[in-house]
Amino acid sequence: MNSANDSAAFWEKHYAGMDAQWGTKPNAVLTALLADLAPAPGTALDLGCGHGGDALWLAAQGWDVTPVDVSQTALDRVAAGAAATGLTDRIHPQQHDLSQTFPDGAWDLVTATYFHTPVTIARESVLRRAAQAVAPGGRLIVIEHASTAPWSWQAGQDIHYPTPEDVIASLQLDNTWAVERGDAPQRTATGPEGQTATVTDNVIAVRRTG
Ligand SMILES: C[S@@+](CC[C@H](N)C(=O)[O-])C[C@H]1O[C@@H](n2cnc3c(N)ncnc32)[C@H](O)[C@@H]1O
């Protein structure tokens, strides 16, 4: 799969067949990282938000959030989650195929949490564009798979995962940026049948200082 329409088709089908409650909790790595970095709530852009676990949690913490996804079904569920929790004023969903279009503006926090897809896209370019969307003083946080869970669509494939250093280098940041996190911690993940496995994530946090 490699055309613009493939992303929408793949992810619409994915979410249409999925329990609307899946993915409505925030990513524990992200919440721990933000507890550590302790930014004051401002504006946030969540790239590939899915069912909005991160976006809804950020909004509940006081952030004004723009969740973005290629799947309108996923975005409708984020909006429904916001309505159910009184967060509609702080959630502004936008539908984009990020390999084609990107939201206009600048944000204090830009997140990309497991922004992975089996569709061939210029993912590094999207993340470089994400860095450009960070306002001065703001942060880009990328949390991504650095190993394959046994239940993943990629299980059994010989996947080359970039190191955190590779990911930071691919962002092509200038000297107005500071690296706050760039490591690959392990965690215990739970699969769709409740099975568990130890997996590795790349955790990248970079701050635009100027
Ligand atoms: C693996 S899911 C992760 C969802 C969510 N961030 C999470 O951590 O649960 C990847 C998400 O990226 C979205 N996505 C994939 N390709 C995209 C694209 N080209 N443009 C925008 N969103 C895309 C998918 O629809 C999906 O919601």
CA 169 to centroid of chain Cα atoms: 19
Residue 37 has a pLDDT of: 97
Burial class (CB in 10 A: 0-12, 13-18, 19+), 128: middle
Q: Is 97 in the pocket of ligand 1 (CB under 6 A)?
A: yes
Give pLDDT < 50 ranges for the chain.
none
Return the residue matching tokens 């001065």: 136
Q: Does residue 144's CB lie within 6 angstroms of at least one atom of ligand 1?
A: no
| pLDDT score recorded for residue 4 | 59
Q: How far, in Å, is the centroid of ligand 1 from the Cα of 50?
A: 6
Q: How far apart are CA 169 and CA 176, in angstroms?
A: 14
Residues ≥6 apart with Cβ < 8 Å to 106: 133, 134, 135, 138
Is ligand 1 within 6 A of the CB of residue 49? yes
Q: Is the dihedral of CA 93, 42, 140, 203 positive or negative?
A: negative
> What is the dotted CATH code of the domain comprising 4-18+26-208?
3.40.50.150
Is any atom of ligand 1 closer than 6 Å to the C-beta of 201?
A: no
Output the CA–CA distances (angstroms, integers) from residue 194 to 19, 92, 152, 176, 202, in the order listed.
15, 32, 13, 44, 23
pLDDT per position as a tens digit, 121-166? 999 999 999 999 999 999 999 999 999 999 888 888 888 999 999 9
pLDDT score for 3? 53
Identify the pLDDT of residue 84: 97
CB 44 within 8 A of CB 107: yes
* pTM of structure: 0.96
Q: Do β-strands 186-190 and 107-113 pair in parallel, antiparallel, or remain unpaired?
A: unpaired
Q: What is the pLDDT of residue 94?
A: 98
Burial of 46 (0-12, 13-18, 19+ CB in 10 A): buried
81-96 per-position pLDDT tens digit? 999 999 999 999 999 9
